[in-house]
Amino acid sequence: MTLAAIDCGTNSVRLLIADVDDAGVLHEHVRLMRIVRLGEGIDRTGEFSQAALDRLFTALDEFASIMAEHGVERTRFVATSASRDARNRDEFIAGVASRIGVEPEVIPGTEEAELSFIGSLRGLPAGIVQTPALVVDIGGGSTEFVLGVDSPESAVSVDVGCVRMTERHLASDPPTEDEVRATRADIRAAVAVAGETVPFDRARSVVGLAGSVTTVAAMALDLPEYDEEILHGSVISAEQVSEVAARFTAMTRAERGALPYMHPGRVDVIAGGAMVLDEVLRATGAREVVVSETDILDGIVHRMASFTEL
């Protein structure tokens, strides 16, 4: 059965078309990301802007065409942080349903975390992660933490992400020292709250997901271009993460945009995302982070293939 998973977050909307064989191995056909910045301004206004909805719907029209070409038989559309917060989400839901044929599921942060855990750990090479593992998914509006061995044991979502931190604190180009201090204080407070639910001290590995993490890794590895094969399963030290976060916060948007591995949609928010990862490693005491290119999309496909509910 050909399955499609769509993950709609605060910053991007992503599509995975795949099937899962009898041995539980996922076979990817299409993986796409479009930066639509759905959560733009939502921290301030409490609702989606019309421009943001238009960007999303344009991307979904493209996804619908690709899904039809691949004969997708079953689809699950998961909406995360921004979609939980918006007052006008009815317009969002109707627009998605008319284009994709299913209504978006606005899932809680704990389920988002569980799906990310499944997708990341099943996608990484055997033996690279020691368990219990702490999976950290840094999104645009929220960050999810989930700890477990073969399955999630505890999970929590907190409202810090690369877009939310940028819009809340990082107005200058480059950010001022006061803005950086305020950002880090905000992140530290949220991570401390997460640590009250998820026992960080039990983690033997930290696995990092999403574009903020992979872009930090790309800078740490000094890649000549973005390369998923090199990044997936790479191990970046806490010292490297701290150094990269400092470099990103000291750079102008133009300087960040000139980096060969930088996605245009991450130029203005990567400093915030890098600081989230840095503060997470500081709080957990982890010496390194394992980078995963597989994530919530893969988890959604695995869940659909098993026909089980979380």
Query: Which CATH number goes with the domain that contains 7?
Result: 3.30.420.40
Which CA distances in Å does 158 have to 118, 188, 233, 241, 268?
A: 19, 11, 25, 21, 21
Query: Whole-number mean pLDDT of the chain?
Result: 92
**The pTM of the whole model exceeds 0.75:** yes
* Closest of 171, 140, 160 to residue 280, by C-alpha: 160
| Domain membership flag for residue 301 | no
Q: Indicate whether 40 and 159 sit together in one domain.
A: no
Q: Indicate whether 121 and 102 sit together in one domain.
A: no
Q: Indicate whether 97 and 206 sit together in one domain.
A: no
Dihedral sign, Cα of residue 233, residue 235, residue 236, residue 238: positive
Is the confidence at residue 178, as pLDDT, over 90? yes
Q: Indicate whether 11 and 31 sit together in one domain.
A: yes
Q: Indicate whether 53 and 188 sit together in one domain.
A: no
Q: Identify the residue whose tokens are 């409490």.
A: 46
Q: Indicate whether 53 and 127 sit together in one domain.
A: no
| Domain membership flag for residue 41 | yes
Q: Indicate whether 45 and 96 sit together in one domain.
A: yes
| Domain membership flag for residue 8 | yes
At what angle are helices 109-123 and 296-306 packed, to 10 degrees?
90
CA 100 to the chain's CA centroid: 22
Backbone angles phi, psi at 244, to 5 degrees: -65, -45
Q: Indicate whether 101 and 114 sit together in one domain.
A: no
Give tens-digit pLDDT for 266-283: 999 999 999 999 999 999
Query: Which CATH number goes with the domain that contains 270?
Result: 3.30.420.150
Neighbouring C-alpha atoms within 13 Å toward the C-beta of 273: 26
Q: Indicate whether 79 and 143 sit together in one domain.
A: no
Distance CA 266, CA 251 (A): 13
Domain endpoint, select from 55, 75, 106: 106
Could you list the residue range(s) of the whole structural domain that residue 99 is in? 3-106
Give tens-digit pLDDT for 7-66: 998 888 999 999 988 888 899 999 999 989 888 887 788 889 999 999 999 999 999 999
Q: What's the pLDDT band for 287 if we cut at 50, 70, 90?
A: very high
Domain count, the chain: 2
Task: Write the secondary structure of 242-288 as one string of H (helix), E (strand) and C (coil).
Answer: HHHHHHHHHCCHHHHHCCCCCCHHHCCCHHHHHHHHHHHHHHHCCCE
